[in-house]
């Protein structure tokens, strides 16, 4: 005789109109516009965030990180970032505080910690629902905004001999400050702002070597986030008006000369070397045979979009990204992507820039849903 095993039926999926994945700045900007469209928080739209606390990636950056811009150039829609009392450029903790209060101010319905594992089509109906799976239960939505950022996917290139290195290797995502580096020989890899800023503080306590794939491009000393924003805005306006592409900020350079980076340059600590060829148990070796002994290698080699939950939708292009038209996934109109990089809209991965793309995404979603069968009601202007 076989025993009867009672398997309880799966809990029904919680149903909303719009589900936002990720509660960092991009997810909150989207929620702000969903709220403004008149949808009911919690019942008609919800934000699921994997992190236990508010603040997105800003909670994890190294403690001395400062914004490139003063608060008035670092604001989400609706409520400007409060001034930072000490000087113009706030630390990451100020952003965490701002995002925490932003979420409270607008009573945004953020559920955390809830990590979305997958987004799937409920059936073959292109106007049907998207099913969203999490460890604490399933959700069903008519549209999804993915705003999961890049922090969860640090990128580490492969170099011959990497696994043989006898010292310590870390990605900038795991950097917490220069204390553990005192008196050591440190190789910093990367040609961007993170490498320059980490080098600026590590070189105060350690013997540093800076290697970059391409010669680093320093911005003029007087160019900060304000100027970059103005240049990006001018480019967007020119493109919107059908004018030629002015090239935007990419033409200006990469590394913002924040005070610590300027000081490192003036001390002679910002001298780049070309990329090494391989790693040995005791250091790194260039193609001409030159060797540098090292105790630590710090990889400031960036991040990739954190999109694993979208794999079941089969939308990725050959470059690993999901092709978009504006913020909308080209091949799945019920899905929008916010943040990640310029490919989801100009400056979408910045505090000041994400509002514009969030607004466009929500306008597109409300139009899509209002036009559909049983479409949602939108009670106000987006
Ligand atoms: P995140 O802040 O990473 O938020 C994503 C959220 O999604 C997180 O809370 C995460 O837990 C959650 N999540 C991830 N996966 C899932 C999942 N599967 N399910 C549910 N939730 C999930 N920008 C500026 O405007 N000014 C600056 O000065 C500036 N300086 C920078 C300096 C550094 C070193 C870096 C790395 C970036 C800087 N940026 C700056 C860029 C940008 O503002 C940040 O990268 C920003 O955190 C991106 O916001 P986001 O909301 O897109 O992603």
Average pLDDT over residues 334-339: 98
If you take atom 34 of ligand 1, which residue's CA is the nearest one?
A: 194
Distance 24 CA to ligand 1 centre (A): 6
Q: Which residue has the higher pLDDT, 10 or 341?
A: 341
Mean pLDDT is lowest, of 8-22, 174-188, 349-363, for 8-22
In this prediction, residue 374 carries a pLDDT of: 37
In this prediction, residue 340 carries a pLDDT of: 94
In this prediction, residue 68 carries a pLDDT of: 85
Distance 90 CA to ligand 1 centre (A): 16
Atom of ligand 1 nearest to the CA of 68: 28
Atom of ligand 1 nearest to the CA of 172: 34
310/332 Cα distance (integer angstroms): 11
In this prediction, residue 318 carries a pLDDT of: 86
In this prediction, residue 87 carries a pLDDT of: 66
pLDDT at 39 over 80: yes
> Ligand 1 pocket, 194 CB below 6 A?
yes
If you take atom 9 of ligand 1, which residue's CA is the nearest one?
A: 56
Average pLDDT, the chain: 91
Pocket-testing residue among 56, 59, 176, 232, ligand 1, by greatest number of atoms within 8 A of Cβ: 56
Q: Which residue has the higher pLDDT, 134 or 346?
A: 134
In this prediction, residue 381 carries a pLDDT of: 47
Q: pLDDT-derived band of residue 3, with 50, 70 and 90 as boundaries?
A: low
> Ligand 1 pocket, 306 CB below 6 A?
yes
Identify whether the C-beta of residue 110 lies closer than 8 Å to the C-beta of residue 117: no
In this prediction, residue 223 carries a pLDDT of: 78
* Residue 298: burial class (beta carbons within 10 Å; 0-12, 13-18, 19+): buried
Average pLDDT over residues 41-69: 95
Distance 11 CA to ligand 1 centre (A): 32
Average pLDDT over residues 249-259: 77
pLDDT at 296 over 70: yes
> Ligand 1 pocket, 172 CB below 6 A?
no
Average pLDDT over residues 231-256: 71
Beta strand segments in the chain, E: 14-21, 45-48, 110-111, 118-121, 130-134, 137-146, 168-171, 185-189, 207-212, 272-274, 278-280, 283-285, 291-293, 296-299, 324-325, 328-329, 332-337
Average pLDDT over residues 138-165: 97
Distance 81 CA to ligand 1 centre (A): 17
Q: pLDDT-derived band of residue 247, with 50, 70 and 90 as boundaries?
A: low
CATH class, range 14-152+304-369: alpha beta
Domain ranges of the chain: 14-152+304-369, 162-218+254-299
pLDDT at 252 over 70: no
In this prediction, residue 376 carries a pLDDT of: 39
Distance 71 CA to ligand 1 centre (A): 17
% of residues, the chain, pLDDT over 90: 75
Distance 43 CA to ligand 1 centre (A): 26
**14-152+304-369 shares its CATH topology with 162-218+254-299:** yes
> Ligand 1 pocket, 23 CB below 6 A?
yes
For the domain 162-218+254-299, what is the CATH superfamily, name and number? FAD/NAD(P)-binding domain (3.50.50.60)
pLDDT at 380 over 90: no
Distance 160 CA to ligand 1 centre (A): 31
């Amino acid at each position: 005789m076989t025993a009867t095993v009672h398997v309880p039926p799966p809990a029904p999926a919680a149903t909303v109109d719009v589900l936002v994945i990720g509660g960092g700045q991009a997810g909150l900007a989207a929620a702000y516009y969903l709220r403004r469209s008149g949808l009911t928080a919690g019942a008609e739209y919800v934000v699921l965030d994997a992190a236990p606390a508010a603040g997105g990636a800003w909670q994890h950056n190294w403690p001395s990180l400062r914004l490139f811009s003063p608060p008035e150039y670092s604001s989400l829609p609706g409520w400007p970032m409060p001034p930072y009392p000490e000087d113009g450029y706030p630390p990451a903790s100020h952003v965490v505080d701002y995002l925490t209060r932003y979420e409270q101010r607008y009573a945004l319905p953020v559920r955390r910690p809830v990590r979305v594992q997958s987004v799937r089509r409920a059936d073959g109906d292109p106007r049907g629902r998207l099913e969203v799976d999490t460890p604490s239960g399933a959700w069903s939505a008519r549209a999804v905004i993915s705003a999961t950022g890049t922090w969860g996917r640090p990128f580490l290139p492969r170099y011959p001999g990497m696994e043989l290195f006898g010292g310590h290797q870390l990605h900038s995502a795991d950097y917490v400050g220069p204390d553990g580096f005192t008196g050591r020989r440190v190789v910093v890899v990367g040609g961007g702002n993170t490498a320059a800023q980490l080098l600026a503080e590590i070189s105060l306590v350690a013997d540093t070597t800076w290697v970059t794939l391409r010669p680093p491009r320093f911005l003029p000393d007087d160019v900060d986030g304000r100027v970059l924003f103005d240049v990006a805005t001018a480019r967007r306006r020119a493109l919107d008006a059908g004018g030629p592409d002015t090239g935007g900020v990419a033409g200006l350079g990469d590394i913002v000369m924040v005070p610590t980076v300027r000081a490192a340059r003036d001390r002679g600590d910002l001298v780049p070397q070309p990329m090494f060829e391989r790693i040995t148990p005791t250091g790194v070796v260039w193609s001409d045979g030159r060797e540098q002994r090292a105790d630590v290698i710090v990889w400031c080699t960036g991040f990739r979009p954190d999109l694993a939950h979208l794999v079941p939708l089969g939308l990725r292009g050959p470059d690993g990204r999901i092709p978009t038209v504006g913020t909308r996934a080209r091949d799945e109109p019920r899905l929008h992507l916010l943040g990640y990089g310029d490919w989801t809209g100009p400056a979408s991965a910045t505090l000041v820039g994400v509002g514009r793309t969030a607004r466009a995404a929500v306008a597109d979603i409300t139009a899509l849903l209002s036009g559909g069968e049983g479409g949602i009601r939108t009670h106000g202007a987006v």
